[in-house]
């Protein structure tokens, strides 16, 4: 099997919520944030790309969100994380 490693920068506009991972429980915090996001997205009929995106930040902060089809939509009740730069590796 031939493996090709591609390293690139990924920029996204994410809508969601942030929180602090108490006792470094990042996954539990992110899941709780996602549980707040999806009912809001469904109730407002917001079109999205369907992927849950978690951003781990300094000081145990976690941002959990999704990409909206139209990130310019106003009054969603969601926090915005605009163009955070992520470095990803694709295998």
φ and ψ at 15, to 5 degrees?
-115, 130
In this prediction, the residues of the chain whose per-residue pLDDT falls under 70 are 83-91
pLDDT for position 84: 56
Q: What integer pLDDT is reported at residue 90 of this predicted model?
A: 45
Q: What is the pTM of this model?
A: 0.78
């Amino acid at each position: 099997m031939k493996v090709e490693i591609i390293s690139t920068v990924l920029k996204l506009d994410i809508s969601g919520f942030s929180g602090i991972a108490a006792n470094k429980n990042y996954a539990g915090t992110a899941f709780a944030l996602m549980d707040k996001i999806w009912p809001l997205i469904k109730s407002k009929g917001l079109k999205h790309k369907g992927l849950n995106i978690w951003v781990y930040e300094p000081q145990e902060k976690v941002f959990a969100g999704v990409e909206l089809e139209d990130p310019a939509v106003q009054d969603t009740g969601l926090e915005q994380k605009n163009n955070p730069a992520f470095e990803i590796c694709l295998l």
